[in-house]
Structure 1
Amino acid sequence: MTQAPTTRLLYSQDGFPVFQNRMYASVEDARNCPKGDIRLVEDLTTGLVRNDAFDPALVDYDASYQNEQANSAPFRAHLEWAADLITRHMGSDNLVEVGCGKGTFLEMLADRGVSITGFDPTYEGDNPLIEKCYFGPELGLEARGMILRHVLEHIPDPYAFLCQLRDANGGGGLIYIEVPCLDWICEGRCWFDIFYEHVNYFRLSDFGKMFGSVMTMGRCFGGQYLYVIADLGSLRPPEYDPANTAPFPDDFTQTLDDIAATTTPADVIWGGASKGVIYALLAARAGAPVKAVIDINPNKQQRYLAGTGLQVRAPQDVLPGLPPAARILIMNPNYSAEIRQMSDNAFTYVEVGK
């Protein structure tokens, strides 16, 4: 008897950088970075979407991982919005941020008078509010609310991880979750928004299946992210719904297939983070390499992107040498107004993915 399939293949690519946000000191190191494959599948038991080729042994975050976006005013505005939402629903006492990274969001909340503790084993600063370890039951803490921003997409078994957080927190408590939105990726055919280190790709319906009690949920940051505030005590196993399958379009890579015909030799990427890394990589493979990469994050400048080895440079180091006909490829449309202002609106601007 033929066994029924347990997954449905949605999308595949080979040789992606394991860390699209790890910066390198040389072109050679960047091009020879660790790589892994993408095999996005829909699980026909849970209905969740994951990279079936993900190997957690390849993933080791360190100080060269640069994912800080708070240098940009639009992203700071998003963080303020998230802080307002969290304090409105969770209050300002006894909060915990799991996977707080470099502590930017935690410190923003603390500056508002929020009583909060952060946990992240990779944290390298000296803020006494942040513990350099994982959150677990051995700590003896029971938070009123937990914050999980851009962590769950990196976890191989997200439901089991949420169960661990629930149990470590005494069986309940509220949780704020923020993750990238699979529907946004599919709607815009954003092939440059699929990354190796993102094991999971979520839809709002996934959280409706996993939580029996949801305070609020929706899309934010221009539709690119999902947010949910739910009761951890209401967790339940997600189940596949054949009437609500993952909406992966057949023409997902159409713009990538056409890219060689539309790219010019003077094309410049603005945004040396995840989107820019994958766009540059697949564009080069399609025979349409970009001229340069701009980013305002000083920790990225003069370093090199994983995969292509392109050097990231400051705006003032690139813009004066560009011809008037140059195209600036804006990797994230949320930053369009800021980018146009910083470049005196002097070029042709393409909002990639719109």
Structure 2
Amino acid sequence: MSACPLCASQRLEMVLHVARVPLQIGVALPSHQQALGAATGDVRLAQCRDCGLVVNDGFEAERIRYAPGYDVSLTHSPLYRAYLHQEALALVGEHGVRDRAVVELGCGDGYFLRLLCQLGGNSGDGYDPSLRAAHTEAVGEGRVRLHPQEFRPQPPPKAPGLVVARSILELLPDPAGFLRMINAMADPGRPGTLVYLEVPNADWLLGNRMAWNVHYEHRSYFTADTLRRACAAQGMRVLECAPCYMDGQYLRLVAVAGGAPTSALGPANPHTAQSARDFAGAYREQRSRWTARLSSWAGSGLRTVLWGAGGRGTSFLAAVDPGARLVDFTVDANPARHGAFLPVTGHRVCPPTDLRGVSCDMLVISNATYEREIVAAARDEGFEGETWTL
């Protein structure tokens, strides 16, 4: 067992071991052969008995590389776009993020950064090594610059008014060091730099037994309690930290940076430890149940399609159909994935229009959040079979 990446404790309690999972869920391969040979790793889910953080103890940072082509974007969903608009409005309206310099770390395609600049007249710089190219684009009264690289801290001429990091903290080998860096981006002489963080909600994942939301590249799984204490320990004054998006799938945290680090995290919440142990049993049960179900359908000559080739779909197929014998192909609304193949299993990713004129009996939906959107889209393409949701 290694040390906790948040508090450095070596008191990690093993919860679940899953072998041969795809190394990165955001990478679809250009050929079937490359997909079958994609790198894998083992998830060894554990909980720190001192600070309470849930971690993947099998994580090896040197095996992970974020480069152009990596894509976990959800902005093709109207539901998700509405959520991002709501979050941007809250930062602009409730926290006064107007006419400020905004820095987003791990900005993806810059969608959220553009919203902040459009709605608040802000200027923005986004950093992400998975960007295909750097460009500057006029947006409303502000300007957005996207940089295809990791952010490298250096004394800026002026401290940013807002630092944003969405769906990145959980991926990092040193989350404490990352939070320390963000806190140091504030100007000590002019406090007031806001921080907006978003991470997957471990309480939601564990409590709802979301088996297919466990990924190798997720180093850490934060509860609201651990996220709040981690930020406070690095010197941030936390203004709010609460579940967000639908039924609480993510956590949003707003804080003021620039305070003195304390490095005092405090004790773990015992409720999280029990939830993690219960989750391990639920994972094994779901994998067994879905393998049997898909095998039964295939044995009866039924044709099955999976809609959703993102993280949940990729993890699900690697666990229950590694030989790609039970699910015929996958469908995804994200055009960046069309024509590619999923790592490890080699399932081909097709556009929704490929459902037209194809005889499909079962449609498995990988993410219940988008069930209504997906069912409507599938019916529009002529699908008349049964729908099942993970």
C-alpha displacement of 1:285: 4.6
Out of 239, 257, 277, the residue aligned to residue 288 of structure 2 is 257
Does the 8 A contact of 2:317 with 2:345 survive in 1?
yes
Q: Structure 1 141/329 Cα, relative in aligned 2: closer, same or farther at 3 Å?
A: farther
Deviations 1:88-136 (A, max 9, x none): 3251222211121221221222232222222234433343222344141
Does the 8 A contact of 1:98 with 1:118 survive in 2?
yes
Normalising by structure 1, report the TM-score: 0.90
Deviations 1:128-157 (A, max 9, x none): 222344141244441121111111011112
Q: How does 1:212-291 map to 2 (within 5 A)?
A: 212=232, 213-222=237-246, 223-233=248-258, 236-237=262-263, 238-241=265-268, 243-246=270-273, 247-248=275-276, 249=278, 250-253=280-283, 254-263=285-294, 264-265=297-298, 266-285=303-322, 289-291=326-328
> Comparing 19-28 with 81-90, which one deviates more in the overlay?
81-90
Which residue of structure 1 lines up, in the alignment, with residue 139 of structure 2? Answer: none
Out of 54, 68, 71, the residue aligned to residue 66 of structure 1 is 71
Residue identity in the other structure for 2:319: L
Q: Secondary structure at the match of 2:196?
A: strand
Out of 281, 294, 307, the residue aligned to residue 344 of structure 2 is 307
Does the 8 A contact of 2:165 with 2:198 survive in 1?
yes
Q: How does 1:113-192 map to 2 (within 5 A)?
A: 113-128=121-136, 129-133=145-149, 134-170=151-187, 173-192=193-212
Q: Is 2:109 aligned against 1:102? A: yes
Deviations 1:314-341 (A, max 9, x none): 1111353134xx2222111221111121
Which residue of structure 2 lines up, in the alignment, with residue 293 of structure 1? Answer: 330
Q: Distance in 2 between matches of 1:146 and 1:277?
A: 31
Q: Distance in 2 between matches of 1:27 and 1:41?
A: 33
- For structure 1, the 5+ residue unaligned runs are none
Q: What's the C-alpha RMSD, in Å, of the aligned pairs? A: 2.2
> Comparing 166-175 with 295-304, which one deviates more in the overlay?
166-175
> Comparing 337-346 with 264-273, which one deviates more in the overlay?
337-346
Residue identity in the other structure for 2:339: Q
- For structure 2, the 5+ residue unaligned runs are 1-8, 137-144
Residue identity in the other structure for 2:344: G
C-alpha displacement of 1:209: 1.7
Does the 8 A contact of 1:271 with 1:295 survive in 2?
yes
Q: Distance in 1 between matches of 2:359 and 2:54?
A: 41
C-alpha displacement of 1:71: 1.3
Which residue of structure 2 lines up, in the alignment, with residue 91 of structure 1? Answer: 97
Out of 367, 376, 384, the residue aligned to residue 346 of structure 1 is 384
Normalising by structure 2, report the TM-score: 0.83
Q: Secondary structure at the match of 2:218?
A: coil
Q: Percent identity?
A: 25
Does the 8 A contact of 1:259 with 1:286 survive in 2?
no
Q: Structure 1 236/347 Cα, relative in aligned 2: closer, same or farther at 3 Å?
A: farther
Residue identity in the other structure for 1:109: L
Q: Structure 1 42/90 Cα, relative in aligned 2: closer, same or farther at 3 Å?
A: farther
C-alpha displacement of 1:201: 0.7
Q: Secondary structure at the match of 1:67?
A: coil
Does the 8 A contact of 2:133 with 2:148 survive in 1?
no
Q: Structure 1 320/187 Cα, relative in aligned 2: closer, same or farther at 3 Å?
A: farther
C-alpha displacement of 1:244: 4.3
C-alpha displacement of 1:236: 4.4
Which residue of structure 2 lines up, in the alignment, with residue 337 of structure 1? Answer: 372
Q: Structure 1 267/251 Cα, relative in aligned 2: closer, same or farther at 3 Å?
A: same
C-alpha displacement of 1:224: 1.4
Q: Distance in 2 between matches of 1:27 and 1:286?
A: 12
